[in-house]
Amino acid sequence: MESIRQKKIAKLLQQDLAEIFQQEAKALFKGVLLSVSKVRVTPDLSDAKVYISVFPTKDSKEIIEFMKSKTSEIRYQLSQRIKDQLRKTPELHFYLDDSIDYEENIDRLLKGGGENPIK
């Protein structure tokens, strides 16, 4: 269970990362919408799992790999924003949030657009 401190730090990181991605993504990923859907922070605040939602999803794996390769630069930009709130910036680990694809697949199955996996 997350502590109140973890939740507050996660929310702070989510907001600041979203702002960083808004500024940078316009130039790097034309026609792609990036969203920070969730951030989970370890109890010692040393690691943060960042879940990114990408739309359209066709290029999502490449975008996540690009972000993983630029983790140190993103972490530096984040540290400049949160230096007054935290002593140490957590290590960032980026993951693809594919919940949108999952929801679309369920909707398609419920509407009868696909094979019924349960027989």
Tell whether pTM > 0.85.
Answer: no
Give a yes or no: residue 29 inside a domain.
yes
Q: Is it the case that residue 103 has pLDDT exceeding 80? A: no
The Cα 53–Cα 97 span in angstroms is: 5
The Cα 91–Cα 69 span in angstroms is: 13
Token pair for 73 = 């630069």
Identify the pLDDT of residue 114. Answer: 55
Taking only the tens place, the pLDDT of each residue in 31-54 is 888 889 999 999 999 999 999 988
**CATH number of domain containing 43:** 3.30.300.20
The Cα 45–Cα 84 span in angstroms is: 15
Give a yes or no: residue 119 inside a domain.
no
Give a yes or no: residue 88 inside a domain.
yes
Give a yes or no: residue 74 inside a domain.
yes
Domain tally, the chain: 1
> Which domain, by its residues, includes 93?
4-110
Give a yes or no: residue 116 inside a domain.
no
Give a yes or no: residue 82 inside a domain.
yes
